[in-house]
Amino acid sequence: MAEASAKNGHGAGNGTPADKARIWGGIDLGGTKIEAVVVDARGEVLGRARHPTPAAGGPGEVVKELYGTLGEAAQAAGVEPTKLAGVGVGAPGSVDANGGTLAHTSNVAGGWEAPYPLASDLRDLVGGGKVALGNDVQVAVAAEYKLGAGRNYRSVLGVWWGTGVGGGLVLNGVPWRGRGSAGEIGHMVVKPDGARCGCGRRGCLEAYAGRACMERKARAEAKKGAKTILFDIMKEKKRTRLSSSVWARALKEKDPLATWLIERAIRMMGVAIASVINLLDVEAVVIGGGLGARLAPTYLSDIEDAMHPHLFMTERKPAMHVAELGDLSGAIGAALLAGPQM
């Protein structure tokens, strides 16, 4: 079901601006949902919408859904998508920002490996305006650094806990992308020869904490006879996947399988985050993403406790925060990628 609104808790709802050329669109492409916003030059949200990510169909279906979601957000803001000054897209996988292509998307619409010209396809739909492409987590962390939980720090690690586990870095005020794929904390090995990850390797953090991998493990355990209400809640909510709300409800009801899997995920997140802190000594850690936004307010201290045994400088822990922009951080960050500079 689509969800559209002209208001949120971050300065939205100011009506249709007179100067439509000073409005940008931002789209966050996730494994389970697509979130779109329209923002002004200050990064304030004027309209938003959400659609489920296609479960199959490849890049063509994804582009169609990106445009549909952006169209609803633009309608909520009182503007046509073709009138936007630019559109940014934050996407998982291997992003070539210069070429506007996206490849290696194992968690989206059945996945595809070869580079796909996502930016040019979307540019045709929005009337030929600027379309910028960036890594989903990197743009979300940039938004939190400029407007959210990271704004009081010079160096920040963002950990986006959702369908997969992504990461982003700001070091001394500069987003650090390395050669394009820096921050991939989900593919740090937390257990050599451990569980199989969606990337094909073994022992990655994502193999233990990514929602998709946790769901596969839950299904395997249920098939072996483990008692759980996870799938009953999923059916009750008319979902086809174990979404963050399903996990939250199961945890609230003290489901043993859900509790074990989340505790295991948190333990492995502690290993990975502490290792990054030991290497880079950043001031703050911001936890976001679908699962992060839903669970981190309750489990943030547990993540901190899981980090503690692995920290070299235990007397100088990083500040721990939940992403303040919530589900919108990725979409807002994508919009900032397209033009508005605070």
The mean-pLDDT minimum among 99-103, 126-130, 201-205 falls in: 126-130
pTM of the full structure: 0.84
Closest CA to 248 of 286, 299, 320: 299
- The pLDDT tens digits for 56-67 are 888 888 999 999
| Integer Cα distance of 258 and 299 in angstroms | 14
At 15 the pLDDT is: 43
Phi, psi dihedral angles at 119 (to 5 degrees): -65, -45
Alpha-carbon distances, residue 164 vs 25, 168, 252, 257 (angstroms): 24, 13, 22, 19
Q: Which residues does residue 176 pair with via DSSP β-bridges, in sequence order? A: 169
Residue 109: partners with Cβ closer than 8 Å, 6 or more residues away: 53, 54, 55, 56, 57, 58, 59, 61, 62
Alpha-carbon distances, residue 121 vs 55, 67, 102, 320 (angstroms): 20, 10, 12, 39
Q: Average pLDDT for residues 96-119, to the nearest whole number?
A: 84
- The per-residue b/e assignment along 129-166, b for 16 or more CB within 10 angstroms, e otherwise, is bebbbbbbbbbbbbbbbbbbbbeebebbbbbbbbbbbb
At 299 the pLDDT is: 97
- The pLDDT tens digits for 163-207 are 899 999 999 999 998 877 789 999 999 999 999 998 899 999 999
Note the helical H segments in the chain. Answer: 58-77, 118-125, 136-147, 205-209, 211-223, 230-236, 244-252, 256-280, 290-307, 329-338
DSSP reduced 3-state for 147 = helix
Which of 124-128, 240-244, 263-267, 324-328 is modeled with the greatest confidence?
263-267
Q: Which two tokens stand for residue 195?
A: 């569980």
The mean-pLDDT minimum among 1-5, 51-55, 127-131, 225-229 falls in: 1-5
DSSP reduced 3-state for 89 = strand
Residue with token string 């650090």: 176
